Structure 1
Amino acid sequence: MFKKILASVGIGAAKVDTVLHTEHLLPGQDFSGEILIKGGDVEQDISGIDLALMTKVKVETEDDGVEYHNFCIDNWHISDSFKLQPGEERALPFNATLPSETPITELPTSNNKCVVWLQTGLNIDMAIDASDKDSLYIYPNDVVKAFISAMDEFGYKMAKADVEKGYLNAGSFNSNSGCYQELEYRPGGFTLFGIKEVELSFVPEQHQTHVLIELDRAFSGDGYKAMTIPHHPDEVAAVESRLRDLLG
């Protein structure tokens, strides 16, 4: 009985470890791995195993401050209930697909608030959930890379990157995940139309990427431009000229 009580508060209980075949991924990419479970000192009833894709989102507080909260982008149910014997080891393979709107983490800025991780939980009856966290490294697709390269070419530096809670509504497209990423750029010097800041947000899909561009101009305030770039080499190559026309 004493061991069961200890197990119910996480002492001597089951342990879980998720092993991914790769942690380096693109939004929308398939990934796979296995969940390794090892029983503790006593028999335990596992009511299920779940895998959650997590990020941190920026939330504005009532006093105009900012907080960062954990946010679940997607989740997968890996296993139904089973009984785990003392010291028993199990390996559960899985396959899943990252949502296309998964935030990018690998970005050229020192002020990068974007993080993504997988969290694995054992739903142990009458126990504190055993959990395991695994960081993911999410890279931009070709369209996003083309925008980042063009902004650098035009002398704009990425000042900050973070993930906002909420939805983008650009009229011609919408985001769906409940959070969206903002890449904030500032010019390295004088700009023709007094641009003080540019924010880029992307909503990737399988064959195209939507882009919402917010321009903060010194003389006319904020303005928005939405565009959709098909995932075709010619369209990706034209990103620089389209962005040049917009920025002047």
Structure 2
Amino acid sequence: MLNKFLASFGIGAARVDARLSESRVYPGSELQGEVHIEGGNVEQSISQIYMYLYTEYYKETNDSRTKHKEVLASYRVADALLIKPGEKKVLPFQLRVPYHAPISFGRQNVYLSTGLDIEMAVDPKDTDIVTVLPDPLVDQLFAEMEGMGFRHSHDSGICEYKKHIHRMVPFVQEFEFKPTGLFRSELDEIELIFEVYPEGVDVLMQVDKRASSLRGIFEEMLDLDEQYVRFSIDRQRGVVPGELEMRIRQALQHR
């Protein structure tokens, strides 16, 4: 009786451990591994084994910045089962990472949470970091930016709350680049936002022009110096060398 009481508070209860075959994945690919369950000091009835992939984003409200959790996808590994004291069970899993999962970049992480749903007891949980690699097309765009002398800023890759931009989640992952060479005298920074899908990538590029006059300073204060450019890259065609530079120059000419 005492052991059952303690297990309800997580003391001597069953334990769960998700073991990934490979923790580095691409958006749209599969995450594979095994869920290891080990019984505690008493027999326990598990109603389900669940997993969910999640990330965190920031939201600014009334001059305060708060962090929020966003579930990207949820999965049910198994339904009801009984785990006896000291018993070990291993269940394989195969999960698809959604295309809207953010890239693991800088301080931005993606996590896999695994839990056992046990009635009238604290749910045993396990959390693992999943490294979401850039889609190959996004990787090519990053290489183009670096080739033009752009470097990621300190806050590049952080997910920020933005409504009505991404269809699946309430945030966007912004990649901020500072010019160090070719465009240093013309630009303050460039921000890139990606939406990846099976056929390709949609790109939203924000070009922030450097103030060169009193008028430019006022425009900068009012955010009027920012030019937005949207374009898509087909997966079969790939990134055409020089395309990003052409898009940037077109944005500058429209100012």
TM-score, structure 2 normalization: 0.86
Instruction: State the shift of 1:163 in Å.
Output: 1.2
Q: Do 1:18 and 1:132's aligned partners in 2 also have CA atoms closer than 8 Å?
A: yes
What does residue 228 of structure 2 align with?
A: 224
Matching residue of 1:94: 93
Within a 5 Å distance, the mapping from 1:165-204 to structure 2 comes to 165-167=161-163, 169=165, 174-188=166-180, 191=183, 194-204=186-196
Q: Which residue of 2 aligns with 1:26?
A: 26
| Distance in structure 1 (CA, Å) of the matches to 2:172 and 2:36 | 32
- Partners of 2:66 and 2:147 lie apart in 1 by 33
Q: Counterpart of 2:114 in structure 1: which amino acid?
A: T
Asked if residue 210 in structure 1 is aligned to residue 206 in structure 2, the reply is: no
Secondary structure at 1:68 match in 2: strand
Cα separation, 2, equivalents of 1:200 and 1:50: 34
User: Are the structure 2 counterparts of residues 104 and 117 from structure 1 closer, same or farther at C-alpha, using a change threshold of 3 Å?
Assistant: same
Q: What is the match of residue 70 of structure 1?
A: 69
- Contact 1:56/1:68, CA 8 A, preserved across alignment: yes
Residue 246 of structure 1: how far off its partner (Å): 2.0
Cα offsets for 1:167-192 (capped at 9, x unmatched): 453xxxx5313332111111125737
Secondary structure in 2 matching 1:198? strand
Q: Distance in 2 between matches of 1:166 and 1:82?
A: 41
**Number of aligned residues:** 235
Counterpart in the other structure of 1:103: 102
State the AA in 2 paired with 1:152: E
Contact 2:141/2:239 (<8 A) preserved? no
Residue 78 of structure 2 corresponds to 79
Question: What is the alpha-carbon distance in structure 2 between the residues aligned to residue 168 and residue 114 of structure 1?
Answer: 21
CA distance in 2, matches of 1:166, 1:93: 36
1:1-40 map, 5 Å: 1-40=1-40
What SS does the aligned partner of 1:245 have? helix
Two-structure CA RMSD over aligned residues (Å): 1.8
Cα distance in 1, alignment partners of residues 189 and 232 from structure 2: 21
CA–CA distance in 2 between the matches of 1:213 and 1:222?
10
Secondary structure in structure 2 of the residue aligned to 1:13 = coil
> Could you tell me which amino acid in structure 1 is paired with residue 94 of structure 2?
N
Write the mapping of 1:101-180 to structure 2, written as runs, cut at 5 A: 101-105=100-104, 107=105, 112-159=106-153, 160-167=156-163, 169=165, 174-180=166-172
SS in structure 2 opposite 1:102?
coil
**Percent identity of paired positions between Structure 1 and Structure 2:** 31
Higher Cα Rg, which structure: 2
What letter matches 1:148 in structure 2?
Answer: F
Unaligned runs of 5+ in 2: 217-223, 250-255
CA contact (8 A) 1:168 1:180 kept: no
CA–CA distance in 1 between the matches of 2:64 and 2:170? 21
Per-residue CA deviation, residues 40-84 of structure 1 (Å, 9 max, x unaligned), is 00111212111110111112132x132222221111011112222
CA contact (8 A) 2:27 2:132 kept: yes
SS at match of 1:113: coil
Q: Quick one: distance in 1 between partners of 2:6 and 2:64? A: 41
* Superposition TM-score, scaled by structure 1 size: 0.88
